[in-house]
Every structure is written in C-alpha cells, then in structure tokens.
Amino acid sequence: MNFFNKKIIIFLLILILVINLFLLLRNISAPFIRFNEDNNAVYGLAANNWLKFGIFKLKFGMAIHWLTSLEEKITYYTNHPDLFVLPTLFFYKFFGISELTTRISPLIFSIFSLILFFFLIYEVYKDYFLSFLSTFIFATLPALTFYGKMLDPEIFVLFFSLLSFYLFFKIKNTGKKFLFYLFFLTTFLGNFMGWHFYFNPLIIWFLILLDKNYPKRKLFLVLIPLILLFSFSLTLYHFYILGGEEALVGLKEGFIIRTSGLPLAFWLNRIWFLLKLNFTLPICILGLFWLVYSIFKFFQNKKIILDLTLFLFPLLVTLIFRQWVTHPYGPFYYLAFFSLATGKILYLFGVKLSEILKSEIVPLVLIIFLLVGQFYSGFNALKFFDKNLILDKESVEFLKEIKNDFNPSSICLGRDQSGLGYGQIFSFYLKTKYFSPPNCFEEKIPLAIIFHPQLGEFYDKETQLFLENNYQPINCKGIICLLQKR
C-alpha cells in the first residue's frame, strides 16, 4: 500500500494527535475522583511543597503531605526516584495549582511518547503505513487515554524507554556520534524517573552484546552498566540524605511488598482483568496471538525483533514486581507491544487482501472501518472510569466549602478500608495537613472529616469512635461528613 506518501502520513499523524487529544482531554480539569487519582494529589502535594519552600531547601525530596513549615519534622517519600515531579513544579509556578496543571505534564509526555512511538516504528521498519496503524492503536487505548494524564512515574518511564529504544536503532542504522551522547543522557535521566526504567538499558545492553557489528559496541557494553550503577548509587545516597538508614530500610520493605507473590490463580485472573481494562478484549486477543507468532518467528530465524523487545520490558516488570502489577495501571507498559502487534496484523491483513483482490481500495476501506471501530471501542472503554469512582463531585465541593468556611489549620481524618490516599486528596483541596486517630484525639484537633456511616459497618463503628471522643456532626455531603469538637 505504497500510496501513503510523506505528506499524507504527516496529515494522518496530525489526525492521530487530534484524536488522542480528544480522548486525553476528557475530564482534564475534573476533580480527583476517578481510579488512582489519589496519585495526582500525592505527587501534586510534593510539587506544591517544592514550590512553597524551594526544591533545594527540601533537598529534592518528595514530601507527600501538606507542609506548613520547614521547622516541622519532614518525612520524605523514598520508595522511588522523583524527577518526574519536576515538570509539574514549573506548571504550578507559572500557571497556578489546579487539577489541570497537575495533569498537564503527564499529558504532554503522553503526546511526546505517541510521536516517538511513530518514529520508532518507522526507524525499524521504514514503512509509514505500519507506523500510522500502530500509532493509531497506541493513541486510542485506555492505558494511554486515561492513565496518560495521571501524575505518576509510568508515563515518564515509558517516554524515556521509547526514546532509548529509538536511539538504539538510530545509532545502529546511522552510527552518528552525537546520538551516543544523547543515548547515554537519556539512560541517565530515565533512571531518575522510576525504578522500572532500569530494565530498559539492561535489555539494550543484552541486544548490543548479541550484535557484534553494533557501532562502538565495547563503549556501550562498558558505559551502560556504569551509568546504571552510578544512578542507582546516587539515588540511594539521596534517600540516605533525606531519611538516613530509616529511609533505606523503608525502601527495602517497599521493594519486598511490591515484589511479593500472590496466589497464582488470583494473580493471573487479576492480570487478565487489568489487561482488558487497559487495552480492551479484542486488542488483548490480537496481541497474544501475535506474541505466539513472534516467538515462533524468533526461534525460526534466530533474530530478535522489535515486537519481542517491546514485550520483554513489561514482562520483566510483571515478573519482578508481581504485587505492583496488580494495581489498575499495572499492565501500562504493554502499551507499545499491543499497539505494534495490532498494527502489524492490520497491515498484513491489508497487504494480503490487496494482493488477492488486485486492488488497494477495498482493503483500505475495511481498515478505515476497523480503525473507526477501534476508536469507538477505546472511547467506550473510558466509561468504566467514569462509572467506577473513588470519590464523588459533591464530596469535593463539600471540601471546598469547608476550606472557605473554616479554613482549618489541620483536620482529624477518619480511617477507611480501601488503602487509597484520601488524606492526600483532602489535603490537596483543604490546603492543610491531616492526622489520624488516635493521635488527633490526643491533639484535640477541632475539626474532623469521616466517611459516611451508611457506607458500611466499618464506617459506622468509626463514626461511633468519633462521637465517643466528643465530636459532634455538623453536616454530611456526598460520602463524607464534617464533625466538630464539643
């Protein structure tokens, strides 16, 4: 299908960006009430603290609770690197703090990732039509259109991973020296976006080891491990500065939790559910089919292909971080593989059908029909996130009312069973710190927010606990209630 010249592809790439933005911009200014949007509040608070007190005074450390003074005891979050928060600091500084400015930096990196993915496919296969098909799938999958605007390490790790893969193949094809420095810089910066990125340069190192003709092969084989070791050591030293040995112990404990095993049947069912949630059932089936085919071709030709390379990165994350991948966004890194796999299947379908029919018009019409169906499927899949909320708009409006009417210096926050970061969400909107029972009872904090007792027996008992400690209800809206000390 060689009628896809550069001008048409540029137009289609712009079309993809418009479609992607149409999906990404849904709820861009909405309150943090959807799946995992407590992460927006968590890292939004970190960026806000950097803005208030200065990133240098906070030693580049993430304080994910509301800070009122540098004199108070600061507990830093040291479970993973924090460079991904830096762009949000700049948006806060120049455009103010809001839901929109919290989401804008991951959204921008989502767009960068989409463009980069297009050129990665073209660099490897030199086919604009395949690049277009794969990138269209990439742009319309819920993994990107929902989680692509969540302030969390994943989208930043994905961007740097795609960039390092692109530079790897570009260096292989051109051998240009300035690309060497860009690759090493990408590897270095990527290591400070999130732990998961470390798998990427290790995969590339292995690919270079197998390729005896790779430009400056020895240089890459020596420098990649050194950069990884230096970055890892620097991160550990940073954490030690922030929290001493306690921070390193906490990091170890967090790693043990995130890599802990779960019952296999439950784990597999959970992963399959999350794959369908992030990529839709048809894309999952096509991707798994293409995976089997790619493995067969690998053993047949003894040649590593991009498909398996893009699959290996999320596979390592899945196998190592077995508990972490059970988060709703756990399969996020499979985005590139599923997009390429589906794009290749559509591409081969079009090519084979055009050969049979001796015409390119009918296959093109069918592919357009399938792409429209994929857009509808991706759009429809987002409704799940609109229906399954962690909070409601009425509760957020109530928080804003409490801020305006009482302007509390701190609040006592009732416990919940979900494990979500409701405290950070409430702090984000109330602009104050929170304490939990029994500490807040001892501190005699005048205002308390609890979850509505009608939510269940646990919350009814929690309400009774507050009543017994001389709190009386003022009002309830949404799923939360405001109480005041007698």
How far apart (Å, rounded) are the C-alpha atoms in residues 448 and 460? Answer: 15
Q: Are 375 and 420 within one domain? A: no
Instruction: Look at residue 10 in the predicted model and tell me its pLDDT.
Output: 83
Q: Is 434 helix (H, G, I), strand (E, B) or coil?
A: strand
| Lookup: tokens for 312 | 């290996």
Q: Are 201 and 334 within one domain? A: yes
Q: Are 26 and 45 within one domain? A: yes
| Lookup: tokens for 138 | 């990439």
Instruction: Look at residue 7 in the predicted model and tell me its pLDDT.
Output: 78
Residue 234 lies in a domain: yes
Instruction: Look at residue 2 in the predicted model and tell me its pLDDT.
Output: 57
Domain with 480 in it: what CATH number?
3.40.190
Give 375-406 as a DSSP string: HHHHHHHTHHHHHSBSS-HHHHHHHHHHHHHH
Q: Give pTM, 2 decimals.
A: 0.95
How far apart (Å, rounded) are the C-alpha atoms in residues 235 and 227? Answer: 12
Q: How many residues does the chain have?
A: 486
Residue 1 lies in a domain: no
Q: Are 364 and 339 within one domain? A: yes
Q: Are 364 and 404 within one domain? A: no
User: Which amino acid type is present at position 321?
Assistant: F
Beta carbons of 425 and 458 less than 8 angstroms apart: no
pLDDT tens, residue order, the chain (486 aa): 555 677 787 888 899 999 999 999 999 999 999 989 999 999 999 999 999 999 999 999 999 999 999 999 999 999 999 999 999 999 999 999 999 999 999 999 999 999 999 999 999 999 999 999 999 999 999 999 999 999 999 999 999 999 999 999 999 999 999 999 999 999 999 999 999 999 999 999 999 999 999 999 999 999 999 999 999 999 999 999 999 999 999 999 999 999 998 899 999 999 999 999 999 999 999 999 999 999 998 888 877 789 999 999 999 999 999 999 999 999 999 999 999 999 999 999 999 998 898 888 888 899 999 999 999 999 999 999 999 899 999 999 999 999 999 999 999 999 998 888 899 999 999 999 999 998 889 888 999 999 999 999 999 999 999 999 999 999 999 999 999 998
Reading phi first (left if > 0) and then psi (alpha if -120 to 50, else beta), residue 364 is in alpha
Beta carbons of 130 and 344 less than 8 angstroms apart: yes
HSE-up (13 A, CA, CB side) for residue 142: 26
Q: Are 172 and 221 within one domain? A: yes
Instruction: Look at residue 484 in the predicted model and tell me its pLDDT.
Output: 95
Q: Are 330 and 351 within one domain? A: yes
Beta carbons of 242 and 82 less than 8 angstroms apart: no
User: Given 360, 385, 410, which residue is the final one in a domain?
Assistant: 385
- Number of independent structural domains in the chain: 2
Q: Are 40 and 61 within one domain? A: yes
Q: Are 295 and 437 within one domain? A: no
Cβ neighbours for 379, distance < 8 A, ≥ 6 positions apart: 23, 140
Q: Is 451 helix (H, G, I), strand (E, B) or coil?
A: strand
Write out the residue range of the structural domain in which residue 473 sits.
Answer: 393-485
| Lookup: tokens for 478 | 């949404």
Asked whether the CA dihedral 319, 321, 323, 328 is positive or negative, the reply is negative
How far apart (Å, rounded) are the C-alpha atoms in residues 232 and 188? Answer: 10
